[in-house]
Structure 1
Amino acid sequence: MNENKIEVRVRYGETDQMGVVYHGSYVPYFEIGRVEWLRNKGVSYKFMEESGIALPIVSMHINYKKPARYDDLLTVHTKLRKYSGVKIEFDCEIFNKNQELLTNAHFILVFIDLKTGKPTPPPEYILDIINE
């Protein structure tokens, strides 16, 4: 299954004066979702970087539907959407405890060789995950 779910709790510093999650605070939630998606498949992002591969975001599109608030327990759903060559795409959604969709997003990331700084095909262990 190419989907993963992880829970995160909204911290005070991620909100504005009204206790609503600041729009920029959603990006780290989605990052946690992608990193945990990999970890759930047996690969740590740290290992990937130590083996010379990085996976920076080259495009993101976020839709805000409803606000999240201080101390809410959120569930981040991360799903592999597409892989092609050096690019990998994820669809992500964030729900509150009532299963209301708060935010959804689409991310495009590119595999980069850390030595050259250039796009590179993913390593075999990543292709195995993508193709399962």
Structure 2
Amino acid sequence: KIEADGYHLPVLEVSLKYHRPALYDDDLVVTARLAEKPVLRIKVQYEVHRGDTLLVTGTTMHAFIDHEGRPVRPPPYVAEKMNEVFK
């Protein structure tokens, strides 16, 4: 819906820390969450686990842009949802 409405969320920054290696055929669980209320930029935090073992932590930073690549505020329905989630 966001892209259909003319918005995009390119990756601006990536940061990773490898704690342990993943092995071939491992079943991995990737968790992504917003740790803080986004304003103009959205920071997503990630964890990758194999069972109880933490393998990787990381973050990505994103920003809303329009179809011409200009920074814009998020669409109203996204801002409303963020206000609900981050009370």
Q: Shorter-chain-normalised TM-score: which range? A: 0.7 to 0.9
CA drift at 1:129: 2.3
- The residue number in structure 2 matching 1:29 is none
| Corresponding position: 1:127 with 2:86 | no
Counterpart-to-counterpart distance in 1, 2:23 and 2:79: 38
Counterpart-to-counterpart distance in 2, 1:68 and 1:119: 37
Counterpart-to-counterpart distance in 2, 1:112 and 1:61: 21
Of 8, 30, 35, the match for 1:81: 35
| Corresponding position: 1:112 with 2:65 | yes
CA drift at 1:87: 0.6
Aligned to 1:108, the other structure's residue is in SS state strand
Counterpart-to-counterpart distance in 2, 1:91 and 1:66: 18
Structure 1 runs not aligned, ≥5 long: 1-46
Structure 2 runs not aligned, ≥5 long: none
- The residue number in structure 2 matching 1:65 is 19
RMSD: 1.1
Counterpart-to-counterpart distance in 2, 1:130 and 1:73: 31
Of 97, 102, 106, the match for 2:55: 102
Question: What percent identity do the matched residue pairs reach?
Answer: 31
Aligned residue identity for 2:26 = D
Counterpart-to-counterpart distance in 1, 2:59 and 2:75: 23
Counterpart-to-counterpart distance in 2, 1:48 and 1:69: 35
Deviations 1:39-59 (A, max 9, x none): xxxxxxxx2111101101101
Alignment size in residue pairs = 83
Aligned to 1:130, the other structure's residue is in SS state helix
Counterpart-to-counterpart distance in 2, 1:117 and 1:76: 29
TM-score (norm 2): 0.87
